[in-house]
Amino acid sequence: MATQHIDLPVTGMTCSSCVRTVERTLKQTEGVADASVNFATERATVDFDPAQVDLSGLIQRIDDAGYGVAQATINLPITGMTCASCVRNVERALKKPAGVLSVNVNLANEKATVSYLPGAVRRSDLIGAVEAAGYGVLDLSNVAKADEVDTERAARQAEIDRQQRMVLIGAAFTIPLFVLSMARDLVMASGTMAPATDWLMWSGFPVVFFLLATPVQVIVGRQYLVSAWKALKNRSANMDTLVALGSSVAYIYSIIVLIGLIFGIAGLGEHVYFETSAVILTLITLGKLLEARAKGRTSDAIKQLMGLSPRSALLLRDGEEVETPIDEVVCGDTLVVRPGARVPVDGMVVEGRSSVDESMLTGESLPVNKSIGDAVIGATVNTSGRLIIEATRVGAQTALAQIIRLVEQAQGSKAPIQRIADQVSAVFVPAVLILALLTFLGWLVLGQATFTTAMVHAVAVLVIACPCALGLATPTAIMVGTGRGAEMGILFKNSAALESAQRLQVIALDKTGTITRGEPTVTDVISLGDTTTDDLLRLAASVERASEHPLGQAVVAAAKAKSLALSQPEGFESESGRGVSGVV
């Protein structure tokens, strides 16, 4: 079986039980050889046989299980189409790249609308497929346009915004409900009446509590009820099942009691628990919001790494420099790197001499001299001369892309301790449901308690178990650890390395750049003649102020830190590898 590998950005997962549901759903799909889902990165890695199941089929299976997959859409202006046959040819060509979900080509406006998985397909891949079929894509490189939207990031942000709205709605109704209900209960428990608290004993308050709790139950609680129902259809249970049960039991029981109070039906009880259901939903939703924000922050490290790569490159065509989107650069292209610009892709110098700051990769503060035949790395900074390079590795093959992939794999890998967490969380929800039922029966039968008392204790078991810390804390901690490490220049190959790091006693570093600031500074000024150290520093800095070399800039910074008055040098000359000269 010729398998194909794909990463699917899954949305809607809330706990380890969701991970198991998605994994089981994918593995049971005909044609899927293997599937692994990571909760922290919210990605499903699938190996499948495209002859038996296509990408749309995998996404449909995930949708049927109650979850979603983030998708992106791009419009391509096609040239060269003349008939319906051309439309079919272009559609067939655009469906070939792995990661394309659907294609719609319109002959009238000569546009192709392509839906694809973000990160799996580049615009240049789609253009290459169209050109290979004998057609073209209108060049919009000279037209001002907005940056392409990161659809996956937008989907994550939309989830954060949605949970924030739910929290605000819940808090608006829950806070007054909780305050009134608790104040009423305290007055009833004290047994003392005072004019200032008489109004709390108004018989219409249970109806008010119902009116306040219902919007929370319907609007905020809907996501938990829907998730629990989808889990039930898949013969599983997740953390939302506990939330839905805990809040719904308290809410429905309170409605029954309220009906009894209104119609004078004895035996249904007198105390309502509307505030319990509202507080459960609001607090759990607040937890979801904080969790979503934490995931967003920990993924910033990868976004920062991605931000190091320039979005465009200067392509040398027929002696002219043409600005081209970075994803349209291919191996063999000749590129121009101006002084102060970042190297767009990995390549080899074919013309020019310069110094390149590679500290983002090596940590070394001093630039490395580059000349014809030397290799340069994408995202490093050309500090001085103009370089012309030949692209040798582009896209996912560049060193920076491999570093990003390493961080993503580390965040997605499972630490040894997480295997224990997965084993426990696999039976956690069913165990909690059984414990809640035993609690209810125990208080009702053995404890001879009332139905209300037994129900309250059962709901307490469900509510306390709602935030599945064991299933959520471990993958979240891995994301935070690897993400924070990447921000500080520390990369972990996998989660097992991160876990074993706690036992480190000795660390050996192979280069000084690993532990330095990444930029040179002046530590001492030593004068061998009658000139004072300040005068010597002033003279040296006055000459170096015309230089772009990092050591020269360090001398200038030291002089400015002492507020020394610098002069403009005359006859400034710079000789590569030997230094600078000038008259002050």
C-alpha 118/C-alpha 7 separation (Å) is 10
Answer for the pair 515, 434: CB distance below 8 angstroms, yes or no.
no
- Locate 289 and state its tokens: 């919001």
pLDDT of 144 reads 32
Over residues 349-372, the mean pLDDT reads 83
The stretches of 142-196 forming alpha helices (DSSP H) are 151-190
SS3 392: strand
Q: What is the pLDDT of residue 305?
A: 67
Tell which wins on pLDDT, 55 or 423. Answer: 55
**Catalytic option among 147, 300, 333, 510:** 510
454-486 burial code (b ≥16 CB/10 A, e <16): bbbbbbebbbebbbbebbbebbbbbbbbbbebb
pLDDT at position 414: 63
- Reference 399, options 305, 329, 517, 481; nearest CA is 305
In terms of phi and psi (left: phi > 0; alpha: psi -120 to 50; beta: otherwise), the region of 527 is beta
> In the block, which residue shows the tokens 């580390």?
410
Q: Can you tell me the distance from the alpha carbon of 9 to that of 115, in angstroms, rounded to the nearest whole number? A: 14
Q: Decide if pLDDT at 210 tops 90.
A: yes
CB proximity list for 8: less than 8 A, separation 6 or greater = 43, 44, 45, 46, 58, 59, 62, 69, 117
Angle value at C-alpha 479, between 474 and 482, nearest 5 degrees: 120
Residue 152 has pLDDT above 60, yes or no: no
> Is pLDDT of 467 > 60?
no
C-alpha to C-alpha distances, 455 to 129, 188, 248, nearest whole angstrom = 63, 21, 12
Looking up tokens 């892709």 gives 345
Instruction: Please name which of 508, 510, 509, 486 lies closest in space to residue 498, comparing C-alpha atoms.
Output: 486
Between strands 387-393 and 334-337, the pairing is antiparallel
Neighbouring-strand partners of residue 529: none
Higher pLDDT, 9 or 413: 9
Residue 560, both tokens: 């400015």
Reduced to 3 states, what is the DSSP secondary structure of residue 579?
strand
What pLDDT is recorded for position 397?
80
Question: Is 510 noted as a catalytic residue in this protein?
Answer: yes
Q: Tens digit of pLDDT for each residue in 12-33?
A: 887 777 888 888 889 989 889 8
Mean pLDDT, the chain, whole residue set = 81
Element (H or E) spanning 221, and its range?
none
Quick: pLDDT tens for 489-510. 777 777 788 888 889 999 887 7
Residue 42 above 60 pLDDT? yes
pLDDT for the residue 533? 92
**Distance between CA atoms of 17 and 174, rounded to whole angstroms?**
28
Tell me which of 472 and 355 has the higher pLDDT.
Answer: 355
Under a CB-based contact definition with an 8 Å cutoff, are residues 92 and 129 in contact?
no
- What span, in angstroms and rounded, lies between the C-alpha atoms of 581 and 573? 5
**pLDDT beyond 60 at 474:** yes
Give the strand pairing for 387-393 and 72-79.
unpaired
pLDDT for the residue 408? 67
Of 58-62, 191-195, 202-206, 247-251, the range with the lowest mean pLDDT is 191-195
Residues contacting 225, CB < 8 A, separation 6+: 244, 248
Q: How far apart are CA 492 and CA 411, in angstroms?
A: 9
Cβ distance 580 to 572 under 8 Å?
A: yes
Instruction: Output Rg (C-alpha) for the chain, integer angstroms.
Output: 32
| DSSP states of 192-256 | ---TTTGGGG-TTHHHHHHHHHHHIIIIITHHHHHHHHHHHHTT---HHHHHHHHHHHHHHHHHH
Q: pLDDT, tens digit, for every residue of 258-316?
A: 998 888 876 666 788 899 889 989 988 887 787 777 666 555 666 666 667 788 888 88
pLDDT recorded at residue 303: 64
